[in-house]
Amino acid sequence: MQGPPGGDVEFQDASSSEDCLSLNVFVPARDTSGRDNAGDALPVMLWIHGGGYTGGGSSEPRLNGDFLPGKGVVLVTINYRLGVFGFLALPEFSAEPGGRSGNYGLMDMVAALRWVQSNIHAFGGDPSRVTLFGESSGSFAVSTLMAIPSARGLFHRAIGESGSALAQGYATLDVRAPKDQKLADALGVKTAAQLRAVPAADILQAVMQAKMHFGPVIDGHFISEPLTSTYLAGRQMDVPLLAGFNRDENSSMAKRMNVWMWRALAVRRFGLKAGDFLALYPDDSDAELRRSAADYGGDSFIAYGTWKWMEYHRKTAHSPIYRYRLDLGAPPSKFHPEEIAFHSDEIEYVFGTLDTRPGAVWRDSDRKLSEQIMSYWTNFAKTGDPNGPGLPTWPTYAESDPVLHLDDPISVRPDEHRARYQFLLQMDTSR
């Protein structure tokens, strides 16, 4: 259940439904004898879709699983409860026998991981080599599940595309519950039983009218503490991590900003540190201002949080980390008329589904990059190391902070923007 799709989301489903706890399994093609080409059990990649925890689904054409398994993996894509149905937090739910409040969508993800452990061998998958990967809120979920005791041991590698939950963090139940109670009040219900009796469509309509948003919560059970505390104490799963983001995660600010607005924003958000901000995001020319506004928009939305995840994991874990940035601007399409590396741009490259993007005329460089990304991702799923024959070498994210730039051609350079993220960390009240 969800509202109308927004942005660049399209579905093959006819409609949304409460009956959503399903998953899809894609395996490599078999030869004419019916024998698996791969032979031995294959590594498994389990995908968590994005959509801000309020929308999305596995039936998006760009998530078609016909191509990635050709690289020698079993692919699983899942659905999970969204919005109010996935994350409503009320103390009465916690008081029920075995009850939990909020986080049902995340619990669905854990249930899918358990299903894989019990059943994926029947599809030729290796339950001891499961890679959890996702984009946007799906990447937020990966960073969260790495810190959740109930997910421990259910996956063995992690890929995060554009997002982590270590920037803004999650509210505690005592903070969230009074806000969520407003929904029950608006529906005129007094008990959990009465709320469950309300038709899902009516609940969804009330949420949309009130413009309410729901996401994970520190409930004291499923999520017991802030994720920053978990990672800094080394209580997260010590698994190999491949993570990164796109150059233009949020360029909307650049389209409406002028120098006076920019400097006012600096003072409003950073006070006495406004000069430090403007030194990192300068505005000496119109072109520089546009680039700085796009950079800060992307940093505050996605890049900083993803960087913080890698940094905190590096502090306390021993497993290797691989960091990337997608730089190659995609050709204009129905949803994105500009040639930029926008938020979610990498999805079609990862799944090998470029031709599902409406209106895009792809170049040879795009198809080459897609093949390279698919190889990096599946190599990582196989061994915990993305490197392999025919690919530019991808070094681990060690003290020199190397970043693999997914571009034409692929290159490796030291982190050119570390000072920006360190400044945002200094101003981060959740750190």
**Pair type for strands 402-406 and 411-414:** antiparallel
136 is a catalytic site residue: yes
Return d(Cα 243, Cα 158) in angstroms, integer. 8
The one-letter amino acid code at 41 reads A
Chain centroid offset of residue 183 CA: 27
The one-letter amino acid code at 245 reads F
Half-sphere exposure (Cβ direction) of 67: Cα atoms closer than 13 Å: 21
In Å, the largest CA–CA distance within the chain is 71
Comparing CA positions, the residue from 126, 130, 158 lying closest to residue 144 is 158
For the chain, what is the total number of helices (H) and then of strands (E)?
A: 15, 9
249 is a catalytic site residue: yes
Return d(Cα 24, Cα 78) in angstroms, integer. 6
Q: Which of 16, 58, 101, 136 is catalytic?
A: 136
The one-letter amino acid code at 120 reads I
Question: Residue 40 has which token pair?
Answer: 């031995």
Q: Which of 60, 135, 161, 249 is catalytic?
A: 249
Q: Which of 313, 336, 343, 405 is catalytic?
A: 343
Return d(Cα 381, Cα 384) in angstroms, integer. 6
The set of catalytic residues is 136, 249, 343
